[in-house]
Amino acid sequence: MSKGIPTRSENYSEWYNELVKKADLAENSAIRGCMVIKPYGFSIWEKMQRALDDMFKETGHTNAYFPLFIPKSYLSKEASHVEGFAKECAVVTHYRLKNDPDGKGVVVDPEARLEEELIVRPTSETVIWSAYKNWIQSYRDLPLLINQWANVVRWEMRTRLFLRTAEFLWQEGHTAHATAEEAVAETRQMLDVYATFAEEFMAVPVIRGVKTPNERFAGAVDTYCIEALMQDGKALQAGTSHFLGQNFAKAFDVTFQDKSGKLDHVWGSSWGVSTRLMGALIMAHSDDAGLVLPPRLAPIQVVIVPIYRNDEQLGQITEKVNGIRNALKSVGISVRYDDSDANKPGWKFAEYELRGVPVRLAIGARDLENGTVEVARRDTKTKETVPLEGIADYIRQLLDDIQQNIYNKALQHREENTRKVDSYDTFREVLENKGGFILAHWDGTTETEEKIKEETKATIRCIPLDAPEEPGTCIYSGKPSARRVVFARAY
């Protein structure tokens, strides 16, 4: 990027922060740990939301909305759940302010203390399951397939734009089923939905896997996840899906009668992805010139920049551009024509590259004469002059090519940075010098996992669902192992 911004290789972290700000995606708010998502950033998030929501509905889910506040007693009903979240909860203790007796603004009215504190939801399992108790009586009420789009709060000590913020936006699905098999199938189905979304929309290849007990969601029987590899060799969990067993059903006494009249607790699942996906999107593809957006998620797919010397020329160009815009719009391509006089073409070129617009068309007097347009693509930064005739089909094909190319690049990067390692020395060396995913044998104990984490900062990202059976010995303890698991340092 221009103007003294560090490059990816100099300082990935700083590069990321600057990019988020310069590309007008988000900024830190004055509120501790919170983020302001700016209009451009939010428009990308909206595209993600829409695509995900369509996928949820296709798989039979409906949207609903539950309260922001959770009575403290709800949260404590499921023992491991409360333990997992207790350390990062924002708590509402009072319901009224009053004027400061010393005349200095307002103070919390000590007389307005809540009898029972309210927790700002860190996740909604507890409020939702307390509602499900009343919604479910019979097997005829099942499966219950509900999703909500909401904000949640987790009081993180240290935050990073999009990747970890005190408040974030997400989607959380909560389902109830008559059998364990159905609930597991749901859990796996939603994992696949997430993986498909990541790969086909975000152009980010992911590994589907199951978490170790240590990394499991607080209150789940099994936690599944998709793991992506960022350009700096660190892993990012891009989505999770949990099989809850009967844990929440038991905690909230959610039972149903089956066909034979027998009473049983229902089986649950929950799953979610958050604005963290924005972080994944940014980190997976961007380069030193700025953001690189996959066409399927780009708010503006094509920007048109006129090159002119005077109003007369601009008029002629605009006339030609109107035809192009209509042709592109008619095949469903989103276009912006930037004829603003405020900035020069060179400035606009740089600006739209920074914002990751996949395709840029430049059209000037030369093109008017020749019946051509200059087409520049963001992913490869190449440009060529093409005839105006058939431009819509050409661009549509080009957008598909760009989507595919971005994915291929990310996949190639992941493949080049996924290594089988069989000794602890090599493991440490690879982590230190190369990063990436490391496929290694592990003895299956939390103890070993913790030791490795302490010594190397690497965690087991997941046990891949497609991990082949392969007897070996644990790189740390030397004990037998049935298959390799994925290690990495993570965000």
Residues of this chain that interact with RNA (CB under 7 A) are: 1-3, 13, 17, 28, 30, 32, 84, 87-88, 122-123, 152, 154, 156-158, 160, 164, 211, 215-218, 223, 237, 240, 272, 289-290, 307-310, 342-347, 349-351, 353-354, 360, 362-367, 373-374, 376, 381, 383, 385
Determine the 3-state secondary structure of 93 from DSSP. strand
Nearer to RNA, 258 or 447 (CB): 447
Please tell me the distance from the alpha carbon of residue 394 to that of residue 326, in angstroms, as a whole number. Answer: 14
Identify the CA nearest to 145 among candidates 31, 270, 331, 260.
270
Nearer to RNA, 256 or 271 (CB): 271
Q: How far is the CB of 414 from RNA (least distance, A)?
A: 20
Nearer to RNA, 142 or 391 (CB): 391
Nearer to RNA, 122 or 256 (CB): 122
For residue 476, what is the DSSP state? T
- Identify the residue whose tokens are 């099989």: 243
For residue 380, what is the DSSP state? T
Q: How far is the CB of 263 from RNA (least distance, A)?
A: 30
Nearer to RNA, 178 or 367 (CB): 367
Nearer to RNA, 154 or 177 (CB): 154
Question: Buried (b) or exposed (e) across 335-357, using 16+ Cβ within 10 A?
Answer: bebbeeeeeeeeebbbbbbbbbb
Identify the CA nearest to 297 among candidates 378, 383, 230.
378
CA dist 19 to 1, 6, 381, Å?
Answer: 8, 10, 18
Chain-centroid distance of CA 92 in Å reads 28
295: preceding bond cis by omega (within 30 degrees): no
> Which residues have a Cβ under 8 Å from the Cβ of 354 and sit 6 or more positions away?
1, 22, 23, 289, 290, 291
Q: How far is the CB of 344 from RNA (least distance, A)?
A: 4
Q: What is the largest CA-CA distance in the chain?
A: 82
Q: How far is the CB of 489 from RNA (least distance, A)?
A: 10
Nearer to RNA, 87 or 259 (CB): 87
Please tell me the distance from the alpha carbon of residue 438 to that of residue 460, in angstroms, as a whole number. Answer: 9
Q: How far is the CB of 185 from RNA (least distance, A)?
A: 21
Q: How far is the CB of 7 from RNA (least distance, A)?
A: 13
Chain-centroid distance of CA 419 in Å reads 25
Q: How far is the CB of 269 from RNA (least distance, A)?
A: 13
Question: Buried (b) or exposed (e) across 394-415, using 16+ Cβ within 10 A?
Answer: ebbebbeebbeebbebbeebbe
Nearer to RNA, 202 or 220 (CB): 220
Nearer to RNA, 256 or 358 (CB): 358
Q: For residue 318, with 0-12 CB atoms within 10 Å meaning exposed, 13-18 middle and 19 or more buried, which class applies?
A: middle
Q: How far is the CB of 452 from RNA (least distance, A)?
A: 14
Q: How far is the CB of 245 from RNA (least distance, A)?
A: 15
